[in-house]
Amino acid sequence: MNDSKKQILLTATKLFLKNSYKEVSLQDIVNEVGLTKGAFYHYYTSKNQIFGEAVKYFYNHVLISNYSNFPKTSLKEFYESYLLKIQESDAFDDMEDDTNFFFFLSEASKKIPDFKEIHMIQRKKEFWEWTEIIETAKYNKEIKTHISNEDLAMLFLNISDGVLLNMTLCQNDGRDLLKDIKRDWDNLYSLIKVHKK
């Protein structure tokens, strides 16, 4: 992807995350990027197309899509690396206090025909990575619980979803998102970790 096209995409993603789809105009995007509408149309055909690309960018670059470099022996190291990876991403650096993930995804579910498939692919990836590290953590006696690996993976994922939804509904500062997720994951982890004697 060339620099101008990427700049348009990053700017559009940021604007769509901050405002609703309806509130963001093509003019807003080209003004923010500093290009003409003609330059925009060289790369994208419509606002709907750029919104679809922004959703895909969000799933491939803001959310974690590659777990190959994550720790594979410790659940705690795994989720701490997860949060660090999100915090260090270029996309997260551009997020502002009034970033609205929930409304962005809600609009995507209505406007992008293959959104459910995009979301389910990401969710399955996350789910299996969490399930595998939980199985390893049980095997290594890092954690002990009668909760199945699958159910525990869903607890970790649903905690982050819940924090995100609550942040959006309460209009809390988005910069606290990762701190709040870490707090809740740490609390869940403390309930299942094996305490060495």
Per-residue confidence (pLDDT) for residue 86, from 0 to 100: 78
Structure tokens at 3: 């620099």
3-state class (DSSP) for residue 136 = helix
| Residue the block writes with tokens 């809740």 | 184
What is the rounded distance in angstroms from the CA atom of residue 82 to the CA atom of residue 90?
A: 15
Residue 2: Cβ-neighbour burial (10 angstroms; 0-12, 13-18, 19+): exposed
Per-residue confidence (pLDDT) for residue 19, from 0 to 100: 86
Per-residue confidence (pLDDT) for residue 36, from 0 to 100: 87
63-197: which CATH architecture? Answer: Orthogonal Bundle (1.10)
pTM over 0.85: no
Per-residue confidence (pLDDT) for residue 139, from 0 to 100: 97
What is the rounded distance in angstroms from the CA atom of residue 194 to the CA atom of residue 34?
A: 55
In sequence order, the 6+-apart residues with CB closer than 8 A to the CB of 57 are 9, 10, 13, 91
**Residue ranges covered by each domain of the chain:** 1-61, 63-197
Regarding the domain delimited by 1-61, which CATH topology (the fold level of the hierarchy) does it fall under? Arc Repressor Mutant, subunit A (1.10.10)
Per-residue confidence (pLDDT) for residue 93, from 0 to 100: 53
Per-residue confidence (pLDDT) for residue 1, from 0 to 100: 61
Fold match between domain 1-61 and domain 63-197: no
pLDDT, one tens digit for every residue, the chain (197 residues): 678 898 999 999 989 988 889 999 999 999 999 988 888 999 999 999 999 999 998 888 877 778 888 999 999 999 999 988 877 765 555 555 556 777 888 899 999 999 999 999 999 999 999 999 999 999 999 999 999 999 999 999 999 888 877 776 776 655 677 888 999 999 999 999 998 76
Distances 181 to 3, 9, 40, 157, 170 between C-alpha atoms, Å: 33, 28, 37, 10, 15
Q: Residues 82, 153: contact at Cβ < 8 Å?
A: no
